[in-house]
Structure 1
Amino acid sequence: MNIKSLLAFILLITTTLSFSQNGRLLKQKKEQVKSIKVAYITNELNLTPDEATKFWPLYNEFEEKQNQIRREKLKAHLNRIDDTDFDNLSEKEATTLLAQMESSEDELHLLRKKFVANLKNVLPATKILKLKKAEDGFNKKLLQQIREKRGR
């Protein structure tokens, strides 16, 4: 999944979950989604107990760092865009904002490369490829469920 699609997905999930009026309910929903995702990925990758023991700490750390970058940097950039009247934005300001956004995207890309490099010590290449497919499949199913609930 490319970074833009993943960002859009995370923003969609965050937005959807943020409409919850109860903070505790929101936390429970996030934990529920995370539990389902863990089960889904574990099943799709057919992880052995030894692989799972080594894989999940790496994956959880990667996801936390990825979410942190999105929360702190990309969201800040998007908020600046929302707050900016584009007609009054100078070319220099726009160029600076674009450079900052590209830098954040590069940081996410480097994080992913480091994660994959670390996974090579834990999983065979075939399972690393399956991870990408499993993440995409999970995200697709989750979006489908959200759309179905909105359509009701």
Structure 2
Amino acid sequence: MKKHIIILTLFLTALHAFGQHSKESRAKIKALKVAFLTQELQFSSVEAEKFWPIYNKHEEEIDFLRNKGRLEYKKKIKEVGDLNNLEEAEAKKFVLLRLDLEKKMVAAKEDFLSKVSVFLPYKKIIKLHISEREFTRQLMRKYGKGRKSKE
């Protein structure tokens, strides 16, 4: 019995540490992204003061919608056991749900654009999109190299 408690404690500690590591990694990536975008876009102090609260809220909303769709898919596939077991009517609901989430994401992007275009020139908005992609590419290159060396 004592052995089981020790094993359970070690397992829960490892699980907590893994979850903490994941949160720290996300926070570190977010900080790197902020630094990268700040450097690329060269905001004035007024632009930065107005931009970051709007951008952070927008990113949270997009992440929420993306995660909601991902969780719905996983949940439903887990319920039926396999994608092949999914009824056509259920599959149609999922496709429509996905479409609805994508429409909400587009609406969120339009809202973000309308808010930042008040104080940011459109050239910087274009540069923002390009810089976000470049940051993601750099992150994927770095992650890919680390993953290949571990295999």
Cross-structure match for 2:29:
33
Deviating above 4 A after TM superposition, structure 1's stretches of 4 or more consecutive aligned residues are none
C-alpha separation between the residues in 1 aligned to 2:53 and 2:86? 43
2:54 partner SS: helix
Radius of gyration: which is bigger? 2
Gaps of 5+ in 2: 1-14
TM-score by length of 2: 0.80
Where do residues 97-136 of structure 1 align in structure 2 (5 Å cutoff)?
97-136=94-133
Cross-structure match for 1:44:
40
1:35 partner SS: helix
Cross-structure match for 2:70:
75
- The answer on whether the counterparts of 1:66 and 1:108 sit within 8 Å (CA) in structure 2 is yes
2:43 partner SS: coil
Cross-structure match for 2:49:
53
Where do residues 7-26 of structure 1 align in structure 2 (5 Å cutoff)?
21-26=17-22
CA apart distance, 1:31: 1.4
1:22 partner SS: helix
Structure 1 residues 86, 27: closer, same or farther in 2, change over 3 A? closer
**Number of matched residues?**
133
TM-score by length of 1: 0.80
Aligned-CA RMSD value: 1.8
Structure 1 residues 77, 23: closer, same or farther in 2, change over 3 A? closer
CA apart distance, 1:76: 2.4
Which of 79, 82, 87 is the aligned partner of 2:84? 87
CA apart distance, 1:127: 0.3
